[in-house]
């Protein structure tokens, strides 16, 4: 805890003892006190003797108080996280309250005249948010909604003076204190905060406009000698270098062809500003209007910080977020400045009849009233390092849950929201290859563990980069028994079991190498040009049940067996060879053609037939001609020739036996 710069209690009460009066003061006069304090211990138990208070825009204030008490022991638990209020009272101005909660309390030792010294620090309720840390996700919530949720969880009094902002699709708090989290959100929006103090409470004001600055009572001050409340003992104005132009850009995966960028130039030119044009990626917003707004906010933050003035004075009414009128000459026209920060220092021994008069002074920073104030983006944003484990989630009974971009919903292991499984967030999935209506797509199934990385390390931009087996979801093949096998296996959905799958795998075991393709139901292969299969040894096709159809819509089909047999066999059923237009030829260059049937063989052309059956050969036709170029012979034990009309036999020589 920082010691107060004015008078410490130890020095004060030793001085009183040296005056020769060792008796305990019996009359503490409130009317003459500059400093007083209320606390849960009651009136006059703790008597403030020195105060140092520091307050600034977008910063939790601190108020360190040196105290004396007649009690030799005070239990810190009676004060810690309890409300307390320091009051600065001057007869010519309203009381100045510094209200907050006690963050620290300590004894500083025994003093003279049976008094004991203590020191405590008062901070706003907001300060304690730096002692809370969380990992959680807000979906489709505006910045205002998110901050309001967190402040309400901690019971903090607050008020918003900001306009509406669009919902943020995803906002992640990851291993951040609640204070850092809401501060970086406010900085992204260009918001800042200040405090309003009353005797029994203090209120956090979150704003985006200079209209929230309020007038300091008797706030017109002049640089001139003396310690009067209307005087400044010091006043220094200056300029600092700032940006010339700010450019922000970003990328929207849903509209990748859209250029998202914006830039804003400063209206306050300083030497060399044209060479100071920062470019920042990403802008962390995906609308052109919002990007342009953020570039303007960054320029405004730089312009106001480059014009800070410093001063010192005696008006306890000064506060961060106040308006003052300053004259750097006694007769000069006052100019408006807005207070960015104020440090108060006061000492008061009147409670103990110390003859040293009470003292008060302050130092402050201010900026011209015509410049809008914006906070610089200084609060660190967590950078998501490495991979994060998450679980793919979806509605009950739905095994694959996705959208038109192939995204899936996730629940991170560190997301401890009770409703995390009910909502989830849509996250893109990295594939081995992608393109315009092309690429590789494997959508992680509900219940799958996935590895998640983050674009640019941004916690608000997760992307699935892989899927991970675990103790419940094992690899597709038993390991290490089948460690030589690689490939992929899918599962039928919905309701598919372990055996309901399609798979394509490779076994690299030496001497037993194998490539396997299994279709759980149908297999369709489409080729728009040629297919060539080269097989060194055997080919075997088994159709367990069903048909085999080969259709050549245009062209020829050739089965060529240069060496070896070609067998077509049907154990049960028919074999049909048919051509609607064209010829059928069976030819063997060397060897014989044998057609064998148990019942019959029939050759048929139109109404003419030749039938071979177990009883003989029957030739039927409108005309039957048998011609032997050398000889034709008909021989049988019984030969019969019947002609229902005319029988004609002719020859050069006819021999009848």
Return left, alpha or beta for 92; rule: phi > 0 is left, psi -120 to 50 is alpha, else beta.
alpha
**pLDDT band (50, 70, 90) for residue 379:** very high
Q: Is the Cβ–Cβ distance between 312 and 364 less than 8 Å?
A: yes
Beta-bridge mates of residue 453: 463
Please write the tens of the pLDDT for every residue from 55-90. 999 999 999 999 999 999 999 999 999 999 999 988
Helical (H) or strand (E) element with 529: none
The pLDDT value recorded for residue 270 is 63
Mean pLDDT across 15-43: 56
Q: Is the Cβ–Cβ distance between 334 and 41 less than 8 Å?
A: no
Q: Give the single-character DSSP code of 378.
A: -
Q: Say if residue 413's pLDDT is above 50.
A: yes
Range from 23-27, 112-116, 144-148, 194-198 carrying the lowest mean pLDDT: 23-27
Q: Give the single-character DSSP code of 601.
A: E
Report the 3 state secondary structure along 415-431. CCCCCCCCCCEEEEECC
Q: What is the mean pLDDT of the chain?
A: 86
Where do the domains of the chain lie? Answer: 9-126+346-360, 239-291, 388-468
Q: Say if residue 629's pLDDT is above 90.
A: no
DSSP symbols for 47-115: EEEEEEEEEETTEEEEEEEEEEES-S---GGGTTT-EEEEEE--TTS--EEEEEEEEEEEEEEE-STT-
Q: How many CA atoms lie within 13 A of 9 on its CB side?
A: 27
Report the 3 state secondary structure along 151-207. HHHCCCCEEEECCCCCCEEEEEEEEEEHHHHHHHHHHHHCCEEEEEECCCCEEEEEE
Q: Say if residue 348's pLDDT is above 80.
A: yes
Q: Check: CATH 2.40.50.230 for 388-468?
A: yes
Mean pLDDT across 342-358: 84
| CATH ID of 9-126+346-360, from 2.30.110, 3.90.550, 1.10.8, 2.20.130 | 2.30.110
Range from 7-11, 299-303, 424-428, 587-591 carrying the lowest mean pLDDT: 7-11
**pLDDT band (50, 70, 90) for residue 271:** low
């Amino acid at each position: 805890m920082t010691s107060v710069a004015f008078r410490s209690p130890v020095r004060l009460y030793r001085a009183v003892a040296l005056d020769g009066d060792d008796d305990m003061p019996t009359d503490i006069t409130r009317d003459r006190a500059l400093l007083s304090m209320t606390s849960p211990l009651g009136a006059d138990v703790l008597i403030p003797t020195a105060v140092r208070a520091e307050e600034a825009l977008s910063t939790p204030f601190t108020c360190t108080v040196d105290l004396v008490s007649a009690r030799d022991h005070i239990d810190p638990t009676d004060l810690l996280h309890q409300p307390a209020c320091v009051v600065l009272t001057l007869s010519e101005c309203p009381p100045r309250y510094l209200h907050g909660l006690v963050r620290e309390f300590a004894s500083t030792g025994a003093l003279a005249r049976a008094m004991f010294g203590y020191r405590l620090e008062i901070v706003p309720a907001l300060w304690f948010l730096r002692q809370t840390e969380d990992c959680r996700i807000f979906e489709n919530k505006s910045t205002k909604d998110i901050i309001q949720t967190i402040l309400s969880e901690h019971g903090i009094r607050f008020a918003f003076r900001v306009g509406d902002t669009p919902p943020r699709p995803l906002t992640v708090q990851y291993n951040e204190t609640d204070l850092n989290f809401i501060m970086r959100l406010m900085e992204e929006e260009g918001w800042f905060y200040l405090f309003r103090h009353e005797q029994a409470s203090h209120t956090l004001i979150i704003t985006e406009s200079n209209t929230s600055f309020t007038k300091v009572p008797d706030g017109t001050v002049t640089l001139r000698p003396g310690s009067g409340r209307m005087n400044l003992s010091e006043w220094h104005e200056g300029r600092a270098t700032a940006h010339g132009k700010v450019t922000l850009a970003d990328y929207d995966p849903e509209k990748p062809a859209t250029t998202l960028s914006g830039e804003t130039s400063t209206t306050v030119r300083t030497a060399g500003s044209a060479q100071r044009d920062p470019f920042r990626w990403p802008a962390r917003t995906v609308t052109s209007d919002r990007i342009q707004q953020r570039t303007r906010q960054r320029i405004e933050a730089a312009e106001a910080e480059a014009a800070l003035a410093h001063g010192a004075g005696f008006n306890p009414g000064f506060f961060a977020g106040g308006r003052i009128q300053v004259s750097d000459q006694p007769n000069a026209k006052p100019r408006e400045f807005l207070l960015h920060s104020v440090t108060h220092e006061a000492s008061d021994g009147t409670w103990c009849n110390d003859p040293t008069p009470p003292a008060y002074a302050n130092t402050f920073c201010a900026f011209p009233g015509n410049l809008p104030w914006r906070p610089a983006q200084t609060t660190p944003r967590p950078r998501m390092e490495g991979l994060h484990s998450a679980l793919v989630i979806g509605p009950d009974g739905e095994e694959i849950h996705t959208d038109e971009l192939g995204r899936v919903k996730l629940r991170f292991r560190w997301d401890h929201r009770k409703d995390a499984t009910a909502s989830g967030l849509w996250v893109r999935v990295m594939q081995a290859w992608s393109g315009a209506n092309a690429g590789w797509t494997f959508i992680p199934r509900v219940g799958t563990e996935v590895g998640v990385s983050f674009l640019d390390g941004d916690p608000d931009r997760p992307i699935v980069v892989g899927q991970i087996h675990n103790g419940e979801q094992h690899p597709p093949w038993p390991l290490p028994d089948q460690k030589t096998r690689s490939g992929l296996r899918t599962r039928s959905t919905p309701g598919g079991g372990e055996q309901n799958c399609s798979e394509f795998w490779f076994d690299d075991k030496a001497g037993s190498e194998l490539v396997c393709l299994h279709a759980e139901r149908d297999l369709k292969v489409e080729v728009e040009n040629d297919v060539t299969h080269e097989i060194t040894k055997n080919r075997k096709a088994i159709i367990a049940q069903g048909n085999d159809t080969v259709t050549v819509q245009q062209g020829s089909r050739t089965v060529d067996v240069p060496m070896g047999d070609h067998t077509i066999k049907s154990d049960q059923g028919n074999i049909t060879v048919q051509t609607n237009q064209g010829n059928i030829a069976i030819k063997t260059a060397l060897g014989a053609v044998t057609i064998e049937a148990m019942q019959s063989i029939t050759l048929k052309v139109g109404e003419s037939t030749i039938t071979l059956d177990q009883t003989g050969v029957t030739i039927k036709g409108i005309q039957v001609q048998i011609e032997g170029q050398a000889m034709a012979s008909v021989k049988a034990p019984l030969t019969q020739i019947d002609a229902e009309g005319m029988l004609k036999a002719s020859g050069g020589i006819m021999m009848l036996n």
